[in-house]
Amino acid sequence: MKVFIAFLGIFLVSISAVVYQGDLGAYGQEQLLLKEAAEECAAGAALFLEEDAYAKGSIVFNQQQGQTYIKDYLAYIKRNSKALSRGTVSYEAVFEDEDCGYASENFSRIPAVTVDIRVATEDLFRLPFVKVTSLERRARYELPEESRK
């Protein structure tokens, strides 16, 4: 009987380790997808510039088109993500340019777009002692030096 109880204990610990490893892999995949989404949203939103201001030599982002691009891209990638499709997605986009101004940390006055994506979802881990119900990633895209001359 002692051997059976020891075997059962080792078996349960092994099953918990396998389940945790699988859930951790899925969590890592969700984080990677969210990171790529934040980078793509920031880079894509930075592509939309005000044409009149650009013709005069200054860089001003078209925030309305940038926000639309972010919404459309997040809706597009929902099909690839369990957390995004089942959870509540919110984002915040911060545009730094000559019209909106620059953050105090931006000493070089580089035009940039920062996108912060948050996802509130159901628990991503099946084990009762590990609970992760939200994901968050942030990405910043700064325009290259050549475009500011």
Q: Does a structural domain hold residue 30?
A: yes
Determine the Cα–Cα distance for residues 49 and 45; give it in Å rounded to an integer: 9
Total domains in the chain come to: 1
- Residue 149: inside a domain: no
Considering the domain boundaries, does residue 105 fall inside one?
yes
Q: Per the domain annotation, does 148 fall within a domain? A: no
The reply to whether 147 falls in a domain is: no
Residue 148 has pLDDT above 60, yes or no: no
CB 87 within 8 A of CB 121: yes
Provide the 3-class DSSP secondary structure of residue 81.
coil
Q: What is the pLDDT of residue 71?
A: 94
Task: Please report the pLDDT score of residue 146 as a whole number.
Answer: 59
Structure tokens that stand for 85 in this block: 């499709």
Average pLDDT over residues 23-31: 92
Q: 44-97: per-residue pLDDT in tens? A: 999 999 888 888 888 889 999 999 999 999 999 988 888 888 889 999 999 998
CB 66 within 8 A of CB 46: yes
Q: List the domain range (segments joined by +) for residue 60.
A: 1-142
- Please report whether residue 98 resides in a domain: yes
Residue 52 counted as domain residue:
yes
